[in-house]
Amino acid sequence: MSTITPEIVAEHGLNEEEYARILNALGREPNINELGIFSVMWSEHCSYKSSRRHLATLPTEAPWVICGPGENAGVIDIGDGQTAIFKMESHNHPSYIEPYQGAATGVGGILRDVFTMGARPVANLNALRFGSPDHPKTRHLLSGVVAGIGGYGNCVGIATVAGQTDFDPAYDGNILVNAMTVGTADADKVFYSAAAGMGNPVVYVGSKTGRDGIHGATMASAEFDDDSEEKRPTVQVGDPFTEKLLIEACLELMAGDSIVAIQDMGAAGLTSSSVEMASKGEVGIELNLDEVPQREENMTPYEMMLSESQERMLMVLEPGREEEAHAIFRKWDLDFAVIGKVTDTNHLTLLHGGEVVGDIPIGPLVDDAPNYDRPHDVKPAAIAAERPDVPAPTELGATLHQMMGSPNLSSRRWIWEQYDHQVMGDTVVLPGGDAGVVRVHGTDKALASVTDCTPRYCYADPVEGGKQAVAETYRNISAVGATPLAITNCLNFGNPEKPEIMGQFVGCIQGMGEACKALDYPVVSGNVSLYNETNGIAILPTPVIGGVGLMQDYKKLVRIALQNDGDSIYILGDTGGHLYQSIYAKVIQDIHVGPAPRVDLAQEKAHSAFVRGQIEDGTLTACHDVADGGTLVALAEMAMAGGKGITLDHEGDHGFWFGEDQGRYILVTSNGAALEAAASEANLSLTKLGRVGGDSLLGQSIDGLKQANEDWMPGYMAAV
Amino acid sequence: MKAKVHVTLKSGVLDPQGKAIQHTLSSLGFGGVNDVRQGKFIELDLEETNEDAARAALTDMCEKLLANTVIENYDIELIA
Amino acid sequence: MKSAVIVFPGSNCDRDVAVALEKIAGNRPHMVWHGETDLPEVDLVVLPGGFSFGDYLRSGAMAGRSPIMKEVITRAHKGKPTLGICNGFQVLTETGLLPGALMRNAGLNFVCRDVTLKVEHANSAFTNAYTNGDEIRIPVAHHDGNYFADDDTLKALEDNAQVAFRYKDNPNGSQNDIAGIYNESRSVLGLMPHPERAIGAELGSTDGIKMFESLMASL
């Protein structure tokens, strides 16, 4: 047997204390296969060892939540015996090393999480962060990531309906690629991962196993250094065609009743899937590795257990149903192999060449995983005591023009035109709106979904930033007329072993928790990505929120585009003129200090209810939340989308027009009196800004604004 | 017997990928690249041991699937 | 009108076109798996969009050699109306039912957007509800939509009035701005844009409806 040296332990990313736990769990020295299994199961990526205790504080329940965190994805009730199933996940490190494949396999992985639970995926979303546009790698990374997301999602045939892309030098060495999938399933056809039934067959389906991505999960949990480019071989290659077949084959099998449990093989492949299934079911699993379909020759047990080859699933079937299941997978030309069985040993037992090559008690492997309470220092980032006032621009209109053509406010059309956003024929709000909206197929219902986060706020004030990320998704979903129901998240941070980074994490979680609680908007699934640091420089704290909401009748939805000349334009919510951390302060005045805007959660709830009520009543002709860039930017976006001008009759200073106070919406109506009366009755602040008409805004032609807004990204990407 | 099949675009057919490669090469400082044409390279492991029979089979494969002769040429290389 | 939609592994607009056929023609089409060799008696065969066989090797190449295609080709040669949308158009050129080939977009990127098409020749079972010269908005979504044919073929297409649709603002580099073509007898139509995605105002356009209405009235 192999001897495990301290060097081998260190190479597996385990510290001395963790190795001691392994010795204790086994009561003996592990062999190399067992060590590999412990190392991936106890990696940050799989064990959430730095984050677990904090995630546990998040609200996860509501009457409409069917399944919260812990399964492959979260499940919510959307009425009529139907559910929405969704999750978001990061693929940051692989995408930095190989942007096309990293992003593509990120999409593939999140799709599997959702269809594993019985859902047909109906919408893909993403949240992307890149370094400064001036950084030499940014163009290459952006074009590769976008092509990878499109290449995978388009081929599989799932519409990519919304997303977020930002640039900031903090991501120069660590880009973020977060992918989200939303699916729908009948409530009586939701599948879970708990294995059950002694002797039931454990079945492997999908692609063959190769040596791809061995140690990907541990790589995703390690800080980068300049040698990371050498790690290329551990990046997996995606096969969206096989994924498409896998979706169809799984859904076909799921229509029957032969599946006891099912789990996708994501990070740490066969290891995490079999351990999860055994652990959830409180049973043992015995795997005969000789039966694993293999793409390469002479694969060792270690390689098979740690491979991250894509497009694979593990299932437990009802006894005697193998042939029926096999026939479906044969039709779809996918591998199907019985590779083991459920046991009553509560051990993961591995056989290879007739020998036992691993035998681990599941309990300790899962329950003894490290669970750290890392020191954390929660406080707003150092805000200069002396901070300058944010000066006024010389000319509002020209400043608006400049902002609309700036990297972080410019149109993302260059990106989303590379994604098929209409396949499946149910997309009723296209990218570029407040939220992507897809009909629930064959019904009048629709799901609105969105991803959001404002990392500069999170950096300035983690608690407010965490609240704001949740609140902004809530607002975006409300702005189309949907009722926000639940969120998933993807929490991207630096090295948690540093108290200030851990403090950002803990602060953001606190803020998110407060918001979810106040808004009745629980967390049903999520993912944590730590160690996003290169050479000691961390990313901005980026807790991306993916929100999902429901509309009963899609025909009532409103979009951001201005519809009719003469319509009155209002802003709902008070504007205090908060310019610190605004796009205006950063882009126009180069001022980066100061506090983040505060989020009033009670007001968020009241405003959302009011907006949804007005949309339901048919009072609004257009609606848009006020976010990055403030009121004037929101107005410009609505004008550009509708190809109509705006005449303003409200006087305001630059704080009014560019401030980023939270909780506000632009409401447009043909019936100003009705809207004013409703707001007055609800005791909400509603201010008339002007009316729709003409072909300009503040002297800037809408065509000119649109050109500035549309031209930046294609021009940037075309330059070399 | 192993075979290599090269599938290339016919001359006169625009090759946008080749053009993009040429453009990028020149932006990377590789001057003097007059033209770039991108093609496909397919490796096959055949049971057939007779060279003529293998070539005939491969020609048939190229005509029927591996190449689209509307726009592509192919070239077969046999390795005993 | 009875119709059949051929489903290849990797087809992903098969449901969309079935929804459009059912919504407008009132009949649910037969969904025929590519591995079948028998095709039901129908008035129309549709090859849907998607990424048959992952678009590996060449878009439409392997689908064009699927078992069912032998019968599809036989029927098409007998004049049975056959419609290929997007990947279906690529399959039609790969089988030789339509001339030319569809190559990688000139801009190299996948492109999904609404485009304006000019209806060039509306004298077919697929298009007679349109009028020559109509301008319609229909979405495209493809990576390989750049139509290529040699000069003689192009000339023949133009001389025989086989160009069904032309792009007003060419999104992919197609020769002569070709978005869709007929065979010589106008019983086969292939086009890159997706009429099945333009069948409702909520989806952004209703301009695809007339294609299905044409078929309904003609067949």
pLDDT digits (tens, 9 = 90+) for A135-161: 999 999 999 999 999 999 999 999 999
The Cα of C22 is separated from the nearest Cα of chain B by a number of Å equal to 34
Confidence at residue A209, expressed as pLDDT on a 0 to 100 scale: 92
CB C165 within 8 A of CB C193: yes
Beta pairing partners, C6: C32
Phi–psi pair at A89, nearest 5 degrees: -150, 155
pLDDT digits (tens, 9 = 90+) for A335-366: 999 999 999 999 999 999 999 999 999 999 99
Taking 60 as the threshold, does the pLDDT of residue A231 lie above it?
A: no
Which DSSP state fits A596? P
What ipTM goes with this model?
A: 0.97
Using a CB–CB cutoff of 8 Å, tell me whether C217 touches chain B. Answer: no
Using a CB–CB cutoff of 8 Å, tell me whether A194 touches chain C. Answer: no
> Of all residues in chain A, what percent carry a pLDDT higher than 90?
89
Confidence at residue A224, expressed as pLDDT on a 0 to 100 scale: 60
Q: At what angle do helices A462-480 and A601-616 cross, to 10 degrees?
A: 10
Confidence at residue A577, expressed as pLDDT on a 0 to 100 scale: 96
Taking 80 as the threshold, does the pLDDT of residue A233 lie above it?
A: no
Please give the average per-residue pLDDT across B27-55, as a whole number: 91
SS3 of residue A325 by DSSP: helix
- Select the residue from C5, C7, C14, C51 to test the A interface by mutation, using most A Cβ atoms within 10 A: C51
Confidence of residue A223 (pLDDT cuts 50, 70, 90): low
Q: Which of C164, C161, C158 is nearest to C192 (CA)?
A: C164
Confidence at residue A11, expressed as pLDDT on a 0 to 100 scale: 87
Confidence at residue A221, expressed as pLDDT on a 0 to 100 scale: 54
Taking 60 as the threshold, does the pLDDT of residue A227 lie above it?
A: no
Neighbours of C30 (CB within 10 A): 16
pLDDT digits (tens, 9 = 90+) for C71-102: 999 999 999 999 999 999 999 999 999 999 99
Taking 80 as the threshold, does the pLDDT of residue B24 lie above it?
A: no
Confidence at residue A720, expressed as pLDDT on a 0 to 100 scale: 64
Confidence at residue B14, expressed as pLDDT on a 0 to 100 scale: 77
Domain ranges of chain C: 3-218
Confidence at residue A225, expressed as pLDDT on a 0 to 100 scale: 59
Residues in chain B: 80
More confident residue, A292 or A229: A292
Confidence at residue A384, expressed as pLDDT on a 0 to 100 scale: 58
> Of all residues in chain C, what percent carry a pLDDT higher than 70?
100
Confidence of residue A212 (pLDDT cuts 50, 70, 90): confident
- Which one-letter amino acid corresponds to residue C201? A
Q: What distance in Å separates the CA atoms of residue C217 and residue A398, rounded to the nearest whole number?
A: 56
Taking 70 as the threshold, does the pLDDT of residue A522 lie above it?
A: yes
Taking 50 as the threshold, does the pLDDT of residue A229 lie above it?
A: no
Angle, CA of A681, A687 and A689, to the nearest 5°: 145
Domains by residue range for chain B, with CATH: 2-79 (3.30.1280.10)
What single string gives the DSSP state of each residue in A603-639? Answer: HHHHHHHHHHHHHHTT-EEEEEE--TT-HHHHHHHHH
Q: What distance in Å separates the CA atoms of residue A668 and residue A69, rounded to the nearest whole number?
A: 38
Q: Are strands A533-534 and A537-538 parallel, antiparallel or unpaired?
A: antiparallel
CB C195 within 8 A of CB C136: no
CB A466 within 8 A of CB A512: yes
Neighbours of B49 (CB within 10 A): 9
Confidence at residue B28, expressed as pLDDT on a 0 to 100 scale: 76
Mean pLDDT of chain B, nearest integer: 89
pLDDT digits (tens, 9 = 90+) for A272-289: 999 999 999 999 999 999
Confidence at residue A232, expressed as pLDDT on a 0 to 100 scale: 39
Q: What distance in Å separates the CA atoms of residue A30 and residue A360, rounded to the nearest whole number?
A: 9
Taking 70 as the threshold, does the pLDDT of residue A87 lie above it?
A: yes
Chains near C with 3+ CB pairs less than 8 A apart are: A, B
Find, in chain C, the residue whose alpha carbon is nearest to that of B65.
C61
Confidence at residue A379, expressed as pLDDT on a 0 to 100 scale: 76
Both tokens assigned to A570: 């209002």
Using a CB–CB cutoff of 8 Å, tell me whether B65 touches chain C. Answer: yes
From residue A174, alpha-carbon distances to A461, A492, A661, B3, C198 in Å are 21, 10, 30, 43, 41
Mean pLDDT of chain A, nearest integer: 94
Using a CB–CB cutoff of 8 Å, tell me whether C62 touches chain B. Answer: yes
Confidence of residue C27 (pLDDT cuts 50, 70, 90): confident
pLDDT digits (tens, 9 = 90+) for A654-699: 999 999 999 999 999 999 999 999 999 999 999 999 999 999 999 9
pLDDT digits (tens, 9 = 90+) for C156-195: 999 999 999 999 999 999 999 999 999 999 999 999 999 9
Catalytic residue among C86, C120, C121, C142: C86
CB A222 within 8 A of CB A343: no
- How would you classify residue C39: left for phi > 0, otherwise alpha for psi between -120 and 50, otherwise beta? beta
Are B66 and C173 a contacting pair at CB < 8 A?
no
Q: What distance in Å separates the CA atoms of residue A248 and residue A242, rounded to the nearest whole number?
A: 10
Please give the average per-residue pLDDT across A475-484, as a whole number: 98
Using a CB–CB cutoff of 8 Å, tell me whether A150 touches chain C. Answer: yes
Q: B–C: how many Cβ contacts below 8 A? A: 39
CATH of C3-218, one of 3.40.50.880, 3.40.50.720, 3.50.50.60, 3.40.50.410: 3.40.50.880
Neighbours of A609 (CB within 10 A): 14
Confidence of residue B16 (pLDDT cuts 50, 70, 90): confident
A334: which chain C residues are within 8 Å (Cβ-Cβ)? none
Q: What distance in Å separates the CA atoms of residue A197 and residue A189, rounded to the nearest whole number?
A: 20
What single string gives the DSSP state of each residue in A75-104? Answer: EEE-STTEEEEEEEEE-HHHHHHSHHHHHH
Beta pairing partners, B3: B44, B78
Please list the alpha-helical segments (H only) found in A417-461: 455-460
Please give the average per-residue pLDDT across A192-208, as a whole number: 95
- Which one-letter amino acid corresponds to residue A514? E
| Annotated catalytic residue C121 | no
Are C108 and B64 a contacting pair at CB < 8 A?
no
CB A390 within 8 A of CB A696: no
Q: Which of C207, C119, C117 is nearest to C169 (CA)?
A: C117
pLDDT digits (tens, 9 = 90+) for A234-274: 668 889 999 999 999 999 999 999 999 999 998 788 999 99
CB C32 within 8 A of CB C6: yes
Confidence of residue C36 (pLDDT cuts 50, 70, 90): very high
Give the CB-side neighbour count of residue A652, counting CA atoms within 13 A. 23
